[in-house]
Every structure is written in C-alpha cells, then in structure tokens.
Structure 1
Amino acid sequence: MRRRRAVAAALATLVVLGVTTACEAGSDDPPPSPDPQPSASSEAKLTVAVTGTEDEIAAYTSVIETFDSLSDDAEVSIESYPTEAALMARLRQGGAVPDVFLASRDDLAWLLEQGVTQPVDQLLDERGVDFGDGYSRDGLQAFSVDNSLQCMPYAISPMVMYYNTDLVDFAKMEKRGLPVPSSDPPLSWGFDVFAAAAEFASRPARGTKGLYVDPTLRDLSPMVYSGGGQLFDDDADPTSLTLADSSESLERWLELLRNPQLTLTPEQLQRRPALEWFERGKLAMIPGYRDWVPELRLVHGLQFDTIAMPVLDTSATVGDVVGLCLSADAASTPAAADLMVHMLSTPSVQRVALEGYIVPANLEVALSDDFLQPGRQPEHSGVFNSAVRAIDFPPLISTWAQLERLVAGDLQALIDVPVLDDLAERLQAIDEKSRTVLDPESVEPSESGSESGSPGSTSGDGPTSAATTG
C-alpha cells in the first residue's frame, strides 16, 4: 500500500501538469519550447531500438517506416534486438544509446542511475497524449519516479496461469463434486480450486502432471503478495528480502510444488523445459506471460486457456512492463518525441498488438479485438487486462539479476530437499543472505564472502528458470 500511495502521488503530479499545460495553451503567450535545442534546417538523424521476435520487429518496422515517410524533420534508422535484456546488455557495455528505445521496468533503476534517459511526461503532454483514460494506470505507476514519467508505458503483461483445457476440465470437476471457479467465464480462482485442479490433472497412467512453478524469486513473488506479505522490507530503499514473514503462505504452495505426484521431477526437467512439457500436453498448468501465446497457438492439438494467478488472501501477481524511453542525449528531442507519439498512437499499437505478443498499455487497443482476438486461443484473453490491476511492483533496484542469482540455489533447495521441516529458518537465512546485495555495507566481511547463507543451499550462480526456457 505504501508503494501504491507513493506512485499515486506521482500520477497526481502528472495530472496537474497536464491541466497546467492545457491552461497555458489557451493563453495569449505561446507555449514554451519542449527543448532548448533549435530546430535544425536539415533532418535530424534518429535511431530507434525495438525488441522482439521477427514478427514483432516487422510490425515495429512498418510503424516506424510510416513515420519516416511522413516526417520532414527526421530520418530514422532502426536497430533490432531479440529482447530488452539483449539491448540493455549492449548499453551496459558502453554501447551508443538509441534516441528512442524499448526498455523493461527491471532496468529503469540502472537507466536512471546512469542518466541515460530524460522524463517524457511534459513532452508527450504537449503533443496531446492522453494520460488520463487512455493508458493503464498501473503502467503509468510502473514508470513514475520523482514525480515524473521516466518512460512511456507501451506493454504491460501480468503473470497469469496457463492451463490445458483437456487436462483441467472444470465441467468434469464439478460433476465429481470438486471445487471449481465461482465465476463464469472462469477468470479467477481460489487456492483450494487451484490445488484441486492440480490433483485432478495429475494422471500417472497418462503420464501427466498438474503444475509447475519455477522456484525463482520472481515466480514465487505472487505467492508472497497473495498471502498479504511483502517481498522486501522497504518499498523505496530495500535492505533485505522478507520471505520469512510469509512462511505460512509459502508453506501452502510448497505442499504442491514439492509433491512429485503433482509436479515435474528434476529428471523430467533435465530432459526438457517445463514449457515444452506443457506444449506436449503432459503438464496441465504453468504461469507465464502474454508473449507465449503465438508459440502455443502453433502447437498442433494443444487446447489451452488463461486464468488469473490463484488467490490466497487477495488477488496478486507480478508483471513484465515495457516502456518507450527517450535518450537524454537525443539528436533532436522534439523530433524524437514526435516519433514516440507516432509509435504510441492507436493505429501503430494496433499493428504491433495484432502479432499477439504484447498486452498494450494503450487501453483502447487492449480492450479491442486487435488484442482480444476472439475466436483464437486463449479464449479468455481478457484475463490479461483484468490481472493488470493486481500487479504488485517491486522496488526499483539495479541489482535484481544479481539478487536472483544469489538466492537461486536456496530457493531450489526448498523444492529439492527430502524433508522440509525448517522452512521458517531457511527463509530467514535467505533474507539475511539478500543483505549482501541489497545492503552490503551492513554486512560483516565474513558474511558477504559466504555463498551458503541457508541450510542446504547451493551456489548462488546455479541454474535459474526452467519454466521460462523455450
């Protein structure tokens, strides 16, 4: 709640800014220039970096080429990368910063620390971008820092639960007296229904398993948030994880995740990643994001749908949020801002959304058939839109990847150890270990030099996501 109140204040500032700008536009004085740079007589040479699959890159390219053909002020070249992480890896190594580029919220802290970007709210507001009803409030929250919008939200994909509708058949479950989702269509469910579905779908004779959740910090986060807990000790300046405070919630989940009758075994995961088991029809449920949809649609015979993450005490999930950012050293800030407005326009976002990989932050597109794509799997794509409101955003930290690596072995041990009778102690040890990354100055040298902060832990550089491979 502290986090949401803080960001709500930032959004209120954006709204006031929009009203002030509108009033100034109606006065006799001309509006101030958005940038001190004078307009060049020749075209500004801009570079825009986009990310995604070949189909997504083709969609972005089409959008940008349209702008390029219509603009007399800019000449645009395009760089493409398979993921935002690939682009960020180049920037972290000192590569040239594109004038406009897509970036994940996970990298926002680093971008701000390095002074890579400049705020975009005033520039976009002056160009008529609708911050009020036109965009996901949660997306705006995700990129609001210091009362300014640092990047413009472009796509906001919440983690949802994918399920095989042949293995998880709610009609058959109801006939057998098992609990089923209370809503029709089934957009959400309680933990007891989820557990019953996992047991129903686990058929030893058919070689099917009910569920798999990768034991990573990100994938376990919804279990913490849904139980009313928090992942960190402070929303603004975290110094430690607080998993131990959620031991009761995690214990309920671990009863399922540790059950070899219900979930994939280490031997199965060594043969192929969890997503491939799902595609083969041998795994009933797996959490994931919207970008899986096009791939799953191509799997012959696979019938699948999506539903919100299970609810313990409250609806909660995490999200993959991507924003359109503007370089602090853009060749021409006005021209780059014009390009951003074009890329953010409804027709441009529709073109990208049609490929099926993103959940648009543009609400007009998110609620349209361009995104919902009726008649195609998943049947209930609206779940992505409703689940956005349940996203809990972690604090902005530049060491997230390092933290995940540090505790990877400890979280894996929660699944692998034969007997887990000391869960609270293990979680407390993980919390203490996290301080070596989040608050290293408070850690004694002997502690920071240790890699084994909890019982049964393995190397912090051990394997990470088996579920998201593929």
Structure 2
Amino acid sequence: MTWTCRYGLFALFVVVLVACAAPSLAPAREITFMVPGDAAEKAAYERLVAAFRERHPQIQVTLIHIPGQSDYRKRLGIDFAAGTPADIVLINYRRYAPFAARGVLEPLGPYLAQSAVISADDFYAEAMTPFIWQGVIMCIPQNLSSLVVYYNRDLFRAAGLPDPSPDWTWSDMLEAAQRLTRDANGDGVVDQYGLGTEVSLFRLAPFIWQNGGDVVDDPQTPTRLTLDTPAAREAIQWFVDLQVKHHVAPDAVAEAAESSESRFLNGRLGMLLNSRRGVPTYRTITDFDWDVAPLPRGKQRAGILHADAYCMAQVSKQKEAAWTFIEFANSVEGQRIIAATGRTVPSLRAVAGSPVFLDPHTRPANSRVFLDGIAFIRAVPVMETWVDIEDIVAEELKRAYYGQASVDDMIETAILRTRPFFDPAR
C-alpha cells in the first residue's frame, strides 16, 4: 500500500471520528429568561435555572432580572415592540392580553398537548383558564394565589387578640385593626397601625364580590364598570372607611413616609393584605412571629386570583429549547424548587398538596389557607385594556381612600374615565 493510500485511509478515519463526536462538540443552545421581583425572588429563579442546567447542560439559560414591577412592564412593552423580547418571560394573567392580541406570543397549547412531562389536567383549572386566549392555551401558569391577610402574631397576643378564625368577618377584622392601632408614646402620632393595603381595584374587588356586587357587567365580555350598584358602593365605602373614618390604616402622608409592607417587616403593622409573592421577603423576619389568615368573609366568600405564567416569544429562534425550560419549570421538580422558596402557591395540584408547600415548620405555618381559598377564587376580566382600567380606578380610589373625594364622586368619575377603554373601536 502506498503512502498516499495510507494517508487517505487515515484522513477518512479522522473524519469519521469527528463526525461521531459532533453532537458533543456542538455549541450550547442559548435562551434568555426575564423575570421581575425583589432580591428574594431573583434568588428563587437562579435556583431554578441552576437545576435546569444540571438536567439540560446543552441549553444555556441567561436570567434577566428587572427589580421593579413597573420597570418590568415597561421593559416588556419596549422589547416586544422592538421585536427583541427574551425567549421566555413571566407575565401576570391581567397583563398578557395585549401581547396575545398582537400575536407576539407563541401559543403553548400545542406544545403542552405533545408533552410527556406535564398535561393540562395536572394544573388547577383556576390557574389555567385565564391563560386561554381565543380557545388556545397561550402561557403555562406557574402559580395561583388568593389575597390573604398576613398578621403579626406577637402584636395580636400583646393586644389580647386570638388568631383570626377561618370564618372571621369584616367586623372581626375591623375590631382587630382598631385594637392594633396605637399611639404608643401619647404624642398624637400613630406608631403602630392595624392594617395596611395597596389601594387598588385589585385589592378592592374581592370585597365587592363578597358583598354580592361585581366589578363589571359581564366578566367574559365586559362593557362597563358596575361600581355604582348598591352592593358595590357599600363595599367600596367600607373599604374607604378603614382609613377615612376608622383611621386603622396609614393616611397618604404616613404611607408615603413608609410603606405598609415596610411597617409590617419592621413590626409596626398588625395586618397586611397581600398574595403569596411576599413570603420570601417575610421569611427574612426574625424579630416576631407571623402567619396568614383568609380574607374575612362578607355576605359570601370570595377571593381574587393572582397568577403568573411562563410565556414564549413568537420571535424566539430557540423555541424547542425555550419549551424545554418551560416544561421543566412547570414539572413537579421545577415547581418544587420555586415552591420551596415560598414564592408561589404551585399551580400543579401534586406540588401544592405536598409537604414542600404545606410544611408547618416553615412560615407561614398555615399555608393551607391558600389552598382552601381556591374554591372561592375569581379572576378579573382578561382584556387588552384591563391594565388601563385598573390604573384609572386606582387613581380615583386613592382620592376617596385618602379623603380627597367622596365615594360617590370616585365611582362616577371612575366609570366615566374608563368608558372608552371598554370600546373595542376606540
């Protein structure tokens, strides 16, 4: 055999070896994943990404973290408008409709139908249903939470108050808030408030529902706000009176000086209305004991849905890799990672009912409150202009809540200002 022939055979052998090794030498697929939240939430998603990399080393995930909710929403809008969104984004059900309507989200129903890891039946329907757009599942829900009452157990004990009962009422909560509101040094300035809340339609809505009223005329195809019905008006007045009449919540000046959440963290607020998302932050509390209670009931029980979902950008060039991450994040393993941080009420029934979520030795001890409330949870309408409607109502509600307008004036102005946003032809 000639040297030329031997060289040719050797070269062929090298080519075959390289071809066989090609998959391991292929560059990793790269995807981006954008989330909002505070430092504790960021840490939760870092753990999720790290676990995913162990399972799928061939996919490189870059986490993009935007701390503020407002900044995050602006970034979403800018990125989608520019055609440069992250491959995967976390979006609340109240805010994904404008993106779905513009066709910039990749429908995930077909991916879910083919998955051997997760199926639609694994999730709470209350979490999945709001993410169905024109009959197709657009995003996969990560969580669902009701609004609950976080309370400082040490302050309750000091005031001679028992822990809130599962069936406590509006009047029970008001009485507790009054006993928890204190001017400790007698200087005429309240040092400790009984109750704190975000002043928004989203916080107000469950009380309207509990009183037999509604926020809109038709939850599926709304054409107007219905805050002017007697039942809704009565609930709004009760909510506003917490601050204006009973003074158990900070006024505008006090809230601007220190937020209610900060007061709760510092042990100077008896009760705080919030969803599950605050838990990682509240777990940093070491100076006092705290837990959660259900919303007090009115004429009937009702809660309000909080749910976020993993959505895929339609322009993603790595859709298979992006789906692999979304699938992992919503698998039992993935949801356990986020649930262990306290960030979520898992949307997977199997994880929500497991010790990783219901661990009584980890605060809040009474996490079952979140699951018990699912049967009474309601969602606000999913529509392109809902965020605008909420923003307008919040502006008017704050005027009433902080004593700058009457409830009647607030209702009339809110309905008038939001009317154009219910008009699809505007």
- TM-score computed with the length of structure 1 as normaliser: 0.74
CA RMSD of aligned residues (A): 2.8
Q: Deviations over 1:397-437 (max 9, x none)?
A: 233343333333321221233784xx345413321221133
| Cα distance change of structure 1 residues 155 and 84 upon mapping to structure 2, 3 Å threshold | farther
Letter of the 2:291 counterpart? D
CA shift at 1:205, angstroms? 3.6
Structure 1 segment 17-96 matched on structure 2, within 5 A: 45-51=29-35, 52=37, 53-69=41-57, 71=58, 74=59, 76-82=61-67, 86-93=71-78, 94-96=82-84
Q: How far apart, CA to CA, are the structure 1 residues paired with 2:258 and 2:72?
A: 28
- Gap change, CA 1:440 and 1:155, over 3 Å in 2: closer
* Corresponding residue for residue 294 of structure 1: 280
Contact kept? 2:150, 2:272, Cα under 8 Å: yes
The answer as to whether partners of 2:108 and 2:139 remain within 8 angstroms in 1 is yes
- Residue 137 of structure 1 deviates from its aligned partner by 1.5
Aligned to 1:163: 151
1: CA distance, partners of 2:111 / 2:228: 44
Amino acid at match of 2:84: A
Alignment of 1:226-237 (within 5 A): 226-237=210-221
How many angstroms apart in 1 are the aligned matches of 2:417 and 2:377?
A: 26
> Relative to 1, partners in 2 of residues 1:79 and 1:409: Cα closer, same or farther, differing over 3 Å?
closer
Q: What is the CA–CA distance in structure 2 between the aligned matches of 1:114 and 1:440, rounded to whole Å? A: 14
Number of the residue aligned with 1:243 = 227
Aligned counterpart for 2:322 among listed residues 333, 336, 360: 336
- The 3-state SS of whatever aligns with 2:308 is strand
- Say if 2:296 is the partner of 1:317: no
- Correspondence 1:191 to 2:177: no
| Contact map agreement 1:67 1:339 (CA 8 A) in 2 | no
Q: The residue matched to 2:33 in structure 1 has which SS?
A: strand
* Aligned partner (choices 86, 102, 106) of residue 118 of structure 1: 106
Q: 1:169 to 1:75 in 2, by over 3 A?
A: closer
Q: In structure 2, what is the Cα distance between the partners aligned to 1:144 and 1:321?
A: 13
Q: In the alignment, what sits opposite 1:430?
A: 414
Select which of 332, 350, 355 maps to 1:364. 350
The 8 Å contact of residues 199 and 210 in structure 1, kept in 2 or not, is answered as yes
SS in 2 for 1:251: helix
Are 1:346 and 2:325 an aligned pair? no
Which stretch of structure 1 is more off in the superposition, 93-102 or 271-280?
93-102
C-alpha distance in structure 2 between counterparts of 1:215 and 1:433, whole Å:
18
For each residue in 1:6-55, what CA deviation from the matched residue of structure 2 results, as whole angstroms up to 9, or x when unmatched? xxxxxxxxxxxxxxxxxxxxxxxxxxxxxxxxxxx967834131424331
Given that residues 50 and 60 in structure 1 are in contact (C-alpha distance below 8 angstroms), is that contact kept between their aligned partners in structure 2? no
How far is the alpha carbon of 1:132 from its aligned partner? 5.7
CA contact (8 A) 1:156 1:319 kept: yes
Structure 2: gaps (5+ residues): 1-24, 186-190
Structure 1 vs Structure 2: percent identity of aligned residues? 23
Give distance in 1, aligned partners of 2:216 and 2:289.
38
**Who is 2:373 aligned against?**
387
- Identify which of 95, 103, 123 aligns with 1:135: 123
| Structure 1 residues 108-131: Cα deviation after superposition (integer angstroms, max 9, x where no partner) | 111112211122223222222444
C-alpha distance in 1 between matches for 2:66 and 2:167: 35
Query: Number of residues paired by the alignment?
Result: 388
One-letter amino acid of the structure 2 residue matched with residue 249 of structure 1: A
What is the SS of the residue equivalent to 1:307?
strand
Partner of residue 257, structure 2: 271
- For the residues of structure 2 that align with 1:135 and 1:121, how far apart are their CA atoms? 13
Contact map agreement 1:187 1:380 (CA 8 A) in 2: no
Equivalent residue number for residue 106 of structure 1: 94
Give yes or no for the alignment of 1:225 onto 2:209. yes
Match of 2:198 among 211, 214, 239: 214
1:359-395 alpha-carbon deviations (Å, 9 max, x no partner): 2112222222222332122221111222233322111
Specify the alignment match of 1:285 in structure 2. 271
After TM superposition, give the deviation of residue 273 of structure 1 in Å.
0.9
Q: Retained in 1: the 8 A contact 2:396–2:413?
A: no
Structure 1 residue identity aligned to 2:176: A
- 2:16 corresponds in structure 1 to none
Q: CA deviation at 1:152?
A: 0.8
In structure 1, give the amino acid aligned to 2:106: Q
Q: What SS does the corresponding residue of 1:162 show, helix, strand or coil?
A: strand
Q: Which residue of structure 2 aligns with residue 416 of structure 1?
A: 402
What TM-score do the two structures reach when normalised by structure 2? 0.82
Give per-residue Cα distances to partners, 1:198-245, cap 9 Å, x unaligned: 222223346322212332222211211211221122323333221111
Q: Distance in 2 between matches of 1:439 and 1:46?
A: 42
Please say if residues 399 and 437 of structure 1, whose CA atoms lie closer than 8 Å, have aligned partners that are also in contact: yes
- Give yes or no for contact 1:44–1:332 (8 Å, CA) kept in 2: no
Report the CA distance shift for 1:410/1:171 in structure 2 as closer, same or farther (over 3 A).
closer
The whole-number CA distance in structure 2 between the counterparts of 1:355 and 1:335 is 25
Matched residue, 2:21: none
Quickly say closer, same or farther: Cα 1:152–1:409, change in 2 above 3 A.
Answer: closer
